[in-house]
Amino acid sequence: MDGAWKKKVSIRVNGVEHSREVEPRVLLVHFLRDAIGLTGTHTGCETSICGACTVMLNDTAVKSCTVLAVQADGADVLTIEGLAKGETLHPIQEAFWECHGLQCGYCTPGMILTTHQLLMRNPQPSEDEIRHALDGNLCRCTGYQHIVDSVQLAAKKMGRKAVRRRR
Ligand code: FES
Ligand code: FES
């Protein structure tokens, strides 16, 4: 009986609740890409090395190839599609754009979500702290310096935004 092997999960993704029947073996990255059609989260190694699949799960950056969809039942997930507000890019996205922090873009969603967690926890990271935070995200194109520059610019932009909000 087909239904016997599936479980209903409800996951809030970018503020929208998505309920689906899934097999217990389905990974969160496949739930996002295949079940609800958000293909901005990429799959690379599927062995927790590359970080292309990184999303925020209840405010913690996770590699979504290491999480089962059933483990995320009831959780809040933020993907790259949830960062921009309409046509307005998130400051981290703007910074990657302005500093040329990407070439092919395959690693970029994961880099940006990992940066999001870093700047939530440490709004003014040093270069060493940035490199350490990103060491679980691999990039085959950029040589990393432009990504580090992007994170530094994102920190400045988000700092300025926070100051404006306090005024
Ligand atoms: Fe998840 Fe590479 S696809 S870490
Ligand atoms: Fe191509 Fe990072 S920009 S893998």
Mean of all residue pLDDT scores within the chain: 95
- Dmax (CA) of the chain: 61
Q: What is the pLDDT of residues 66-85, one digit of tens each?
A: 999 999 999 999 999 999 99
CA–CA separation, 156 and 89 (whole Å):
15
43 by Cβ neighbours in 10 Å (0-12 / 13-18 / 19+) ranks as: middle
148 pocket-lining for ligand 1 (C-beta < 6 Å): no
Mark out the alpha helices in the chain (DSSP H runs).
28-30, 91-98, 108-121, 127-133, 145-166
Q: Ligand 2: which residues within 6 Å by Cβ?
A: 102-107, 139-142
Going by pLDDT thresholds of 50, 70 and 90, the confidence category of residue 103 is: very high
pTM to 2 decimal places:
0.94
Task: Measure 101 CA to ligand 2 centroid, in angstroms.
Answer: 9
CB 114, CB 61: distance < 8 Å: yes
